[in-house]
A and B are shown apart, each in its own frame.
Chain A
Amino acid sequence: MAAPKVKQDMAPPGGYGPIDYKRHLPRRGLSGYSLFALGIGSLLLGYYSLVKWNRERRRLLIEELEARIALMPLLQAESDRRTLRLLRENLEEEAKIMRDVPGWKVGESRFHTDRWVPPTVEELYYLRPPAELEREKFGLQNYV
Chain B
Amino acid sequence: MPFWGLQKQLGIDLDTFLLRQSMPQPHGQAAVCHAFEREWVECGHGLGQTRARRECQLEYEDFMECMKRTKLTQRLRTILEQRDRMIKQGKYTPPEHHMGKEEPRP
Contact B92 A120 (CB under 8 A): no
Query: Which of A97, A118, A131, A132 is the one whose CB lies under 8 Å from B86?
Result: A97
Q: Could you mark each residue 54-97 of chain B with 1 if its beta carbon is under 8 Å from any beta carbon of chain A, else 0? A: 00001101100110010111011001101100100000101101
In the complex, 25 of the A-B residue pairs with CB atoms within 8 angstroms, ordered by the A residue number, are A89-B97, A93-B98, A94-B79, A97-B82, A97-B86, A97-B92, A98-B82, A110-B65, A110-B75, A111-B62, A112-B58, A112-B61, A113-B39, A113-B62, A115-B35, A117-B66, A120-B69, A122-B69, A126-B79, A127-B83, A127-B94, A127-B98, A129-B98, A129-B100, A131-B100
- Measured CB to CB, the closest approach of chain A to B23, in angstroms, equals 21
Of the listed residues A111, A120, A131, the one surrounded by the most CB atoms of chain B closer than 10 A to its CB is A111
Measured in the bound complex, the distance between the Cα atoms of B98 and A134 in whole Å is: 15
Q: Measuring CB to CB, which residues of chain B are less than 8 angstroms from any residue of chain A?
A: 32, 35-36, 39, 58-59, 61-62, 65-66, 69, 71-73, 75-76, 79-80, 82-83, 86, 92, 94-95, 97-100, 106
Interface size class of A (residues with CB under 8 A): 20 to 34
Measured in the bound complex, the distance between the Cα atoms of B106 and A3 in whole Å is: 119
Contact A128 B72 (CB under 8 A): no
Contacting residues, chain A, for B36 (C-beta < 8 A): 113
Of the listed residues A78, A110, A113, A129, the one surrounded by the most CB atoms of chain B closer than 10 A to its CB is A110
Name A112's closest neighbour in chain B (CB-CB). B58
Contacting residues, chain B, for A111 (C-beta < 8 A): 62, 65-66
Contacting residues, chain B, for A118 (C-beta < 8 A): 32
Judged by a CB distance under 8 angstroms, whether A59 is at the interface is no
Contact B62 A97 (CB under 8 A): no
Measured in the bound complex, the distance between the Cα atoms of B48 and A77 in whole Å is: 42
Measured in the bound complex, the distance between the Cα atoms of B61 and A113 in whole Å is: 11
Contact B39 A110 (CB under 8 A): no
Judged by a CB distance under 8 angstroms, whether A28 is at the interface is no
Name A92's closest neighbour in chain B (CB-CB). B95
- Measured CB to CB, the closest approach of chain A to B22, in angstroms, equals 15
